[in-house]
Amino acid sequence: MDTTSAHHWPWDVLGVAANADERTVRRAYARLLKQQRPDEDAEAFQRLRYAYESALQMASGGAAGTIAAVSASVPVPVSVPSPPPEAHHLPEHDAFESAVQLWQHFVLQRDQLESRRSLQDLFAAVVNIQMRDELEWQALVHCLNEDAPATLRMNLSAVLGWRDNAAHLRRRNAAIATLALDRVFADEDYNALRLRFTNAMALLEGPQPPLAAGAHALLRAGVRTEMEQLLTALARYHPNVVRLRLDSEKVEFWTRCLSFRIGAGRLFGPALTLSAWCGLLFANASMNLNSNRWFDQWTPAQLAVLLATLMVTLVTSAATTVLLSEPQQQRLRTLRSIGWLRYGWIPVWLGATAAALCDAGSGRLTSIAMNTLGICTMWAALIYGWPRIKQLAILAAVGAIGFGFAGHWLSTDPRAWQMPFAHGVLFAFFFSFAQQECRGWLARRPRLAWFVATMWFAGFATLIVLLLQREERSTQFAWALFTVMAAAGGVLATTRWSDLRGAVPPFFRGYVHLVWLALAVSKPDIIACVSAGLMSVWIIEELKQRRLSHRTAL
């Protein structure tokens, strides 16, 4: 009696001999149908159903005996035989039988299964259209076998162009074609992912370590970023790779490790730094209004404020980034998208900074502003997340020193040395997260954009007039106005500070930065006027571009 073969479709699925008759095939199908229900595993049922239909056709057409004879013969390394001349006009039934025989004979040549050249020769030798279609279908169905080599599936897809042209296969049997093509494309995508994400795939396919050890493995340089990109690609673009080629439990495990690693990194990195900064603001604000607010004047009360701020902020950060479940995270994301929560800190920040700049010397407004800016920093961090410390530090330095705020505060009220840097930190949050969103919101309201631009130019003229008066109170009002204008300028137009830097030859850039820094510290009023003037030019160009786009649209 013939034995079944792992590469012998469809007899290996039914568990019968290759020379089985119709009655044996029906009995085998009925027996397997009791074990395999369509509502339990649709893919396995579709494979069983098509194997049953194919076996019935073979048994009734006499193809089974031919295949059995081929299977029983000893395979020898021979080239693929060309169809006889009369094969050009084979009937459909004969084309099916010939394709079955040809494919089964090819499958028996184990040494050729993973050779792309052998597949090319096989399909090039078939010139009859019907027979070639049947041969392609037999090859596609063979891809459903669990033990079919992945290289064979990928070579078939490359030779027959299934990525770009598989509509004819789906028209023949959409269910079978979809199952087979999903497996083929999963092999291709899996191989591409292994080449692109070598380290991350090695972790994903290796033994599963404890959660702490997995998080520690992601500490290696580049591994965390690579694992994050791999998991994102699997979730968004390659779900079949997870279903057919990878262990879904391991994918879920490394997703938890990544969340833990990112949460811990944010907790002990940016969160810790910004928490300490906010604690410093709260502690200095609690000191005597007329004190110098330096560390040597701290009392245990200031230290307690700092430690309490650290504890509250870190616990809140841990709860929002690590401890919350996915449904809770989804509700938190929905809450963060509410307009007044997402952008409410911006007018509070600008109003507090402007009020502190107008402080008459008592220090009361400065203390209130310190507390307010600390709260705004925590507010923005909870809404947008914790940015990278390096990026935050650079933007904060630009907002505090580059625009002249530090120079102005140090020359008028050195006791409030924290204020320009607190303003710079919030400017960094605004520039990184909220500015582009505000620009999009304003672009959808052209009339409001023109009104805001008009008010901006009126403010620019007022700024120049106030600075020219050279009176202390006028200067305070001018800087309060410039605080709002510096933020609004980036919303009205794309600021091109990087273009100015690129216009300077590389050899002189360092000297230009030093000159700008020296002017920002010693002559902050000049820097304010120059910055406002540059933003005015960019706003005018933006308005011209919008008018041109509007005329073109009409």
Could you tell me if 90 and 104 lie in one domain?
yes
Could you tell me if 295 and 311 lie in one domain?
yes
Whether 409 is covered by a domain: the verdict is yes
Q: Who wins on pLDDT, 335 or 78?
A: 335
Domain closes at, from 264, 292, 319: 264
Query: Which of 16-30, 111-125, 255-269, 341-355 tops mean pLDDT?
Result: 341-355
The distance in angstroms from the start CA to the end CA of the chain is: 82
Whether 5 is covered by a domain: the verdict is no
Degrees to nearest 5, angle at CA 344 with 338 and 345 = 130
* Cβ count within 10 A of residue 342: 18
Could you tell me if 312 and 379 lie in one domain?
yes
Whether 153 is covered by a domain: the verdict is yes
Residues 128-166 pLDDT 10s:
888 888 889 888 888 888 778 888 999 999 989 999 888
Residues 479 and 351: their CA atoms lie apart, in Å, by 12
Could you tell me if 329 and 431 lie in one domain?
yes
Tokens of 150: 């992945």
Could you tell me if 229 and 174 lie in one domain?
no
Q: Note if the pTM is more than 0.85.
A: no
Instruction: Supply the pLDDT for residue 316.
Output: 80
Residues 250-283 pLDDT 10s:
898 888 888 777 666 655 667 788 888 999 999 9
Whether 491 is covered by a domain: the verdict is yes
Could you tell me if 211 and 333 lie in one domain?
no
Across the chain, mean pLDDT equals 82
Could you tell me if 283 and 330 lie in one domain?
yes
Could you tell me if 150 and 53 lie in one domain?
yes
Residue 410: CA count within 13 A, CB half-sphere: 13
Instruction: Supply the pLDDT for residue 404.
Output: 93
Instruction: Supply the pLDDT for residue 484.
Output: 94
Q: Is the pLDDT of residue 311 over 90?
A: no
Q: Which domain holds residue 324?
A: 269-553
Domain closes at, from 264, 297, 312: 264
Could you tell me if 249 and 309 lie in one domain?
no
Could you tell me if 97 and 169 lie in one domain?
yes
Whether 6 is covered by a domain: the verdict is no
Cα–Cα distances in angstroms (integers) from residue 301 to residues 248, 362, 375, 400, in the given order = 52, 22, 19, 28
Residues 214-229 pLDDT 10s:
877 887 767 888 988 9
Residues 421 and 353: their CA atoms lie apart, in Å, by 11
Could you tell me if 249 and 376 lie in one domain?
no
Whether 4 is covered by a domain: the verdict is no
Whether 472 is covered by a domain: the verdict is yes
Whether 3 is covered by a domain: the verdict is no
Cis bond upstream, residue 85 (ω within 30): no
Q: How many domains does the chain have?
A: 3
Domain closes at, from 131, 160, 184: 184
Could you tell me if 285 and 354 lie in one domain?
yes
Instruction: Supply the pLDDT for residue 79.
Output: 42
Tokens of 379: 């507010």
Q: Is the pLDDT of residue 247 over 90?
A: no
Distance of CA 277 to the CA centre of its chain: 30
Q: How confident is the model over 28-54, as a mean pLDDT? A: 71
Tokens of 396: 């904060």
